[in-house]
Structure 1
Amino acid sequence: MDIPLHLHRWERRPFDWTAAAVAGFAGGAVLMALELLWSAFAPGTTGAWRLSQMVAALLLGPEAMWSTPHVFDLGTVATALVIHYMLGIGFGLVLGFVAAGVHGDDDTTTLVGMGAVFGLLLYGLNFHLMVHWFPWFAELQGVGTAIAHIVFGVTAAVLYRRLARPPTEAHRPA
């Protein structure tokens, strides 16, 4: 009895940059909504705007976190939105590149799994590696943030699959 393993090997293939960027942007929106809901309703959180202060501090410095986390500051929130969405677009591009390279974009199930793993790796990068340089993110380490990043990866992967145009005949490997 033969058991197909469906192993994927790397093959440099063109990918749809626009679809990947839009998928990353939309995945970032879903992630941000989950994080805002989590911070607004979870017991023991420090305030709805704390996350915006933490993200804005990547560019503005730790001083951005000195204001009260319950107070809305347009400059801080706007900076956080720009940073968050630029990172979402960047990570969407990486996911699209990898999905095309391993032909993961050919199968929804594979792509969902790939997106989940990508989101989990992204969580590890952001909250266990980058925390050495940005220690204020340590307070976000946990299952809720990990799940939100998995949802980001799956959302971006599925949207990429739905939005991506198939490669043209000129781009298809021989």
Structure 2
Amino acid sequence: MELHMHSHHLERRLPDWPAAAVSGFAAGAVVMVLELVWSSLFMDTSPWITSRMVAAIVLGPDTMQSSTFSVGVVAVALATHYVLGIVLGLILAAIVAPFHFDSSIGMILLTGAVFGLAVYLFNFYGMARFFTWFNDMRGWATMVAHLIFGMSAAIIYWKLERPLGE
């Protein structure tokens, strides 16, 4: 009896780019809703603080001076958040496709979790050097949100991807 295991060796295989973009966008929406619910229900902070922090990447740190709702700030935060989500969805697909990490639901979820953890570390220990206002967000809740993002993007990509030629 032979045992056949999925080989996750590098192979020339292109991702399904539209599925990747949609998966990053959708996973970004999942995390954004979770963040708003979490900050509104369980934290004693304004739900708009995170929006201001994200918008400050584009508009500068003065954006965080207020904790009230602003349509302009939220619009910039949404645009920034979704563009980053799409870019990360594309990066995830570029990792998944050539290594066949989409071979099973377990493998795709594991890949998404590892990717989410890598994004968390990059954002909060790398990019936070340039955007210091994110240092205070380091912690288990933010890490879990990034794991959810990675796993959501991975599973959505897995469900949406189509083999080449279809």
TM-score range, shorter chain: over 0.9
Give the secondary-structure state (helix, strand or coil) at the position aligned to 1:72. coil
C-alpha distance in structure 2 between counterparts of 1:115 and 1:40, whole Å: 27
Partner of 2:110: 113
C-alpha distance in structure 2 between counterparts of 1:3 and 1:162, whole Å: 27
Partner of 2:135: 138
TM-score normalised by structure 2 residue count = 0.93
Question: 1:128, CA displacement in angstroms?
Answer: 1.4
Partner of 2:59: 60
Cα distance change, pair 32–66 in 1 and its aligned pair in 2 (3 A): same
Question: Is the Cα contact below 8 Å between 1:35 and 1:145 reproduced in 2?
Answer: no
Question: Is the Cα contact below 8 Å between 1:31 and 1:152 reproduced in 2?
Answer: yes
Deviation string 1:88-119 (CA, Å, 9 cap, x unpaired) is 00000001111001011222211110001000
Partner of 1:10: 10
| Off by >6 Å, runs of 4+ in structure 1 | 1-5
Give the secondary-structure state (helix, strand or coil) at the position aligned to 1:104. coil
Deviation string 1:69-88 (CA, Å, 9 cap, x unpaired) is 1x110000000000000000
Partner of 2:36: 36
Deviation string 1:118-165 (CA, Å, 9 cap, x unpaired) is 001111111111110000001111111111110111111111011011
Partner of 2:76: 79
C-alpha distance in structure 2 between counterparts of 1:21 and 1:161, whole Å: 12
Q: Which runs of 5+ in 1 are unaligned?
A: 170-174
Report the AA paired with residue 23 of structure 2: A
Given the alignment of the two structures, is residue 151 of structure 1 paired with residue 131 of structure 2, yes or no? no
Question: Is the Cα contact below 8 Å between 2:23 and 2:152 reproduced in 1?
Answer: yes
Question: 1:2, CA displacement in angstroms?
Answer: 8.3
C-alpha distance in structure 1 between counterparts of 2:4 and 2:34, whole Å: 37
Report the AA paired with residue 47 of structure 1: S
C-alpha distance in structure 2 between counterparts of 1:73 and 1:104, whole Å: 41
Q: Which runs of 5+ in 2 are unaligned?
A: none
How many aligned positions are there? 166
Question: 1:41, CA displacement in angstroms?
Answer: 2.3
Give the percent of matched residue pairs that are identical in Structure 1 and Structure 2.
Answer: 48
C-alpha distance in structure 2 between counterparts of 1:77 and 1:149, whole Å: 20
Question: Is the Cα contact below 8 Å between 2:51 and 2:74 reproduced in 1?
Answer: yes
Deviates more, 1:32-41 or 1:88-97: 32-41
Partner of 1:129: 126
C-alpha distance in structure 1 between counterparts of 2:131 and 2:7, whole Å: 37
Question: Is the Cα contact below 8 Å between 2:54 and 2:81 reproduced in 1?
Answer: yes
TM-score normalised by structure 1 residue count = 0.89
